Amino acid sequence: MSLIKPHGSDELNPLFVYDPAENEALQKKAEKMVSVVVSSAAAANAVMLGGGYFNPLTGYMNKADALSVANGMKTTSGLFWPVPVVNMLHAANGIKAGDTIALKDPNREGNPILAVMDVQAVEEFSDAEIELICEKVYRPNHKEVHPGVDTFKAEGKVILSGPIKVLNFSYFQDEFPDTFRTAVEIRNEIAERGWKKVVAFQTRNPMHLAHEELCHMAMDRLGCDGLVIHMLLGKLKKGDIPAPVRDAAIRKMVELYFAKNSAMVTGYGFDMLYAGPREAVLHAVFRQNMGATHFIVGRDHAGVGDHYGAFDAQTIFDNEVPAGALKIEIFKADHTAYSKKLGKVVMMSEAPGHVKEDFVLLSGTKVREMLGQGIEPPKEFSRPEVAQILIQYYQSLPK
């Protein structure tokens, strides 16, 4: 049985220039080209395109495609896609259609060249079009600040579209050499391990007992022979735990509590969008591209605060994703927690006759306070070996 096909094509089409001689020659050429320092979001898009995660896209979308995707989750040619993949600037600075330009990395010192782009169009969004994209993709609640909307609006209104060739993976490969993996590499490793049914788990936080048990539950119920824990390594929000600490905590959990050859710990280079349901669909698209057959979507997936409904990121797959648009299947999860009555972690919706007090529930704030004071959360909440890694981190912070 062969691996699940990537989205929109038979073979994965990563936009990274893998041939070392070709990469070096293009790098030299790029140094003489007109260049532009792109936004962090555009750089993250380039990294995802380079690694094959955004297959079958060949570069940045033009205005018509971006608006079509925002409006109806498909490009003008009919390709299913959940969020615009764009390169937006504040000004074109003389760049015009037909130019080949160098895209510089905003996230590394000296702004080295990240990719080369053949500019097919230079267009501009109107204020109304920017608002429409925000409305459709982020579904903002106008009473509160939305980090995804703020980031998007800060990128400018000029949109450069066209195919790209990616020359490196920004800071991700250097800073996370053991964890950052492209969709190509994950596909290859899944094949090498001989896994047929593979479930992916998205995280931007350390995994406590409830997350660990949710992964075991999904694997058991789906009959999976492999789990890919796939960490977001890009820009997060203030107060989130840094990736190296998360990485160490997750690796310790897998080493001690998962069967050998049943779980892979990996990460990808992308900035969090906080786009809730639409981002959950994007997560499913690129997990299919990396070879997963199933993807866990939990409560408040890719959300921010209580901005989206608890299960909006699940219902979008039923109500808005056309049948057959994706080959990957969704494993819908509720909050998991330790039941004092049953003496194990359960999905809260599957525990009849329970009241809130029957579960071991701790807020993020409470857990951070405990860890900061060197206190291990109860073993029904967190593995002691994981808690120790987090305690060391929190105690190292300036008081």
At 364 the pLDDT is 83
Q: Is 160 inside a domain boundary? A: yes
Mean predicted lDDT score pLDDT of the chain: 95
26 φ, ψ to 5°? -70, -35
133, 148, 173 - which closes a domain = 173
Burial class (CB in 10 A: 0-12, 13-18, 19+), 114: buried
Active site residue 204: yes
Would you say 348 and 354 are in contact if contact means Cβ atoms under 8 Å apart? yes
Both 158 and 299 in one domain: the answer is no
Both 167 and 188 in one domain: the answer is no
Among all chains, which residue has been given the structure tokens 């997750």?
Answer: 250
Which range of 149-153, 184-188, 332-336, 360-364 scores highest in mean pLDDT? It is: 184-188
* Boundaries of domain holding 323: 176-396
Q: Is 296 inside a domain boundary? A: yes
CATH for 165:
3.10.400.10
Q: Is 141 inside a domain boundary? A: yes
Would you say 170 and 108 are in contact if contact means Cβ atoms under 8 Å apart? yes
Would you say 285 and 7 are in contact if contact means Cβ atoms under 8 Å apart? yes
148, 173, 198 - which closes a domain = 173
Task: Give the pLDDT confidence of 131-143 residue by residue, as tens digits.
Answer: 999 999 998 665 5
Q: pTM score, two decimals?
A: 0.95
Nearest to 17 by CA among 50, 46, 39, 49: 50
Both 244 and 292 in one domain: the answer is yes
Q: Is 15 inside a domain boundary? A: no
Burial class (CB in 10 A: 0-12, 13-18, 19+), 357: exposed
In degrees to the nearest 10, what's the CA dihedral of 323, 15, 235, 162?
Answer: -80
173, 199, 225 - which closes a domain = 173
Both 155 and 217 in one domain: the answer is no
Both 81 and 166 in one domain: the answer is yes
Among all chains, which residue has been given the structure tokens 């990469």?
Answer: 23
CATH for 386:
3.40.50.620
Both 31 and 154 in one domain: the answer is yes
3-state secondary structure the chain: CCCCCCCCCCCCCCCECCCHHHHHHHHHHHCCCCEEECCHHHHHHHHHHHCCCCCCCCEECCHHHHHHHHHHCECCCCCECCCCCCEEECCCCCCCCCCEEEEECCCCCCCCEEEEEECCEEEECCHHHHHHHHHHHHCCCCCCCCHHHHHHHCCCCEEEEEEEEECCCCCHHHHCCCCECCHHHHHHHHHHHCCCCEEEEEECCCCCHHHHHHHHHHHHHHCCCEEEEEEECCCCCCCCCCHHHHHHHHHHHHHHHCCCCCEEEEEECCCCCCCHHHHHHHHHHHHHHCCCCEEEECCCCCCCCCCCCCCHHHHHHHHCCCCCCCCCEEEECCCEEEECCCCEEEEHHHCCCCCHHHEECCCHHHHHHHHHCCCCCCCCCCCHHHHHHHHHHHHHCCC
Task: Give the pLDDT confidence of 170-210 residue by residue, as tens digits.
Answer: 999 999 999 999 999 999 999 999 999 999 999 988 999 99
Active site residue 205: yes
Residue 220 has pLDDT above 90, yes or no: yes
Q: What is the CA radius of gyration of the chain?
A: 21
Nearest to 377 by CA among 394, 360, 392: 360
Both 146 and 183 in one domain: the answer is no
Overall number of domains in the chain: 2
At 365 the pLDDT is 84
Among all chains, which residue has been given the structure tokens 């971006």?
Answer: 66
Q: Is 247 inside a domain boundary? A: yes
Would you say 209 and 338 are in contact if contact means Cβ atoms under 8 Å apart? yes
Q: Is 118 inside a domain boundary? A: yes
| Percent of the chain whose predicted confidence (pLDDT) is above 70 | 98
At 87 the pLDDT is 98
Both 215 and 128 in one domain: the answer is no
Active-site residue, from 204, 246, 289, 319 = 204
Both 336 and 253 in one domain: the answer is yes
Tally Cβ neighbours within 10 Å of residue 24. 12
Both 147 and 190 in one domain: the answer is no
Mean pLDDT value of segment 367-376: 92
Q: Is 62 inside a domain boundary? A: yes
Cα–Cα distance measured from residue 139 to residue 130, given in angstroms and rounded to the nearest whole number: 13
Least confident of 80-89, 187-196, 304-313, 341-350: 304-313
Tell me the sheet residues that pair with 115: 103, 166
Residue 74 has pLDDT above 90, yes or no: yes
Band (378; pLDDT cuts 50, 70, 90): very high
Mean pLDDT value of segment 353-361: 94
Both 148 and 194 in one domain: the answer is no
Both 75 and 125 in one domain: the answer is yes
Q: Is 297 inside a domain boundary? A: yes
Would you say 346 and 180 are in contact if contact means Cβ atoms under 8 Å apart? no
CA of 124: how far to CAs of 203, 273, 305, 356, in Å?
35, 22, 32, 51
Active-site residue, from 108, 205, 251, 368 = 205
Residue 299 has pLDDT above 90, yes or no: no
